[in-house]
Structure 1
Amino acid sequence: MVVLTRTPSVEVGFLKEPNLHCQFAVDHKLPNATVEWRLQKHGERSKLFSYSSRTGKAEGSGVAVKAIAAGNASFKLPPTRKHSEGTYICSVMVPPLYGSHDIPLTLSEQPRVSINVGSTLSMLLGSDQKLICDAEGYYPLDVNIEWYRETAGGSPTPSFLKNVLYSSHRLHQDGTYSLSAFFYLQPTLEDSGYKYTCRVSHKSLLTPIRKSFSLIVT
């Protein structure tokens, strides 16, 4: 008997309904086949679905029972939430044969990044301004937010700001997180013309997200 999957691992966002593919083939008919899906997390397994062709009885949901006779035991998840993460195990038993596939599922959401000023910030000498960079709606928790500045033409080695403060991580009802990084700017005339950039790195991003503004001091 062969059990295979076209989804060996799955990474999706929140509130998606991924289809976990599980196909099996035996070289004889299925008078006594048992199909099960279980979720393993934190060392514990919970049964999501089971079907016995001998009794015709199915428990749980997510698998099209009629498709099992053709060797398709794929499982459709309900909308994903934080508790959906884990390893999904498709197992097929046709005595004396047994086969299974483990399909790890992880959740990932990209941060939405914004700063609290436009592309150009004009300030008077002697004034001060709080500059905030918000990263919102990301998952998992680990995120890196940095502020740096460079000359208008772009310098080969930007200068990272040392006076940056961070909020605490905020957990939202949907399971995603937000974080803010801010600093207080009291510019001199020499600061005029510099470009300030907030850079956010996260597991969900191939390249960091950058938001910038140019400073004019008069």
Structure 2
Amino acid sequence: MNKQKQQNITIKGTKDGLTLHLNDACSFEELLAELQTKLLTNKHGDDEQHVTVYVKVGNRFMTEDQENELKALIEKNRHLVVKKIDSNVILKQDALRVKEEEELVSVAKVVRSGQVLHVEGDLLLIGDVNPGGTIVAGGNLFILGALKGIAHAGYRGNKTAVIAASIMQPSQLRIADVITRPEEEDSEKEQSVMECAYLDDANQIVIDRVQGLASLRPNLTRLERRI
């Protein structure tokens, strides 16, 4: 009795299009050969509309050239459009970058005029930001001290990022690409409570008491696992 040959490619239809599940244990050349055969067998007619294709390659690392070759083969059928090629494997430098972007960095210092403190993830600053000083984070900014300089949170475009400070007297606040300069009368007053800044639904920076962050940004509780 002949043993049935294992299929390296499974094609599943979904409401969003087609999903191709590719075996991550066989060679890349075997995948291409089987894929070409299956695409010819299941070729769409001329009256078909474009179909979105999602490709899942499992624990297989794909070079850019291999991804381009795979995409070109699928899109030879002019009705198929590759939306995404999804792999569980990333390069070491990409993994380190993701780690940095999710990391909480704790720094104890005073950021003086002309100085710039920049981190890729969240920043917990234990100290003041003097006028003329700048702090920048890819994530959130938490200042246990006086913020009197420039603070930029979510610099890569993260509009859910927040800025919190014991004394909120900034010369400029920026979240993602939204900038505000607090009015002079506000910048001169002494706050008795810790305040925070965030983007509201109208894409405007709002300054409020920090106690409201728990409901506004519930994902901040992830810090409990990282500190």
Is the structural similarity TM-score above 0.5? Answer: no
Identify the structure with the greater helix proportion: 2
Q: TM-score with structure 2 length normalisation?
A: 0.27
Identify the structure with the greater strand proportion: 1
Of structures 1 and 2, the one with the larger relative CO (CA 8 A, separation 6+) is 1
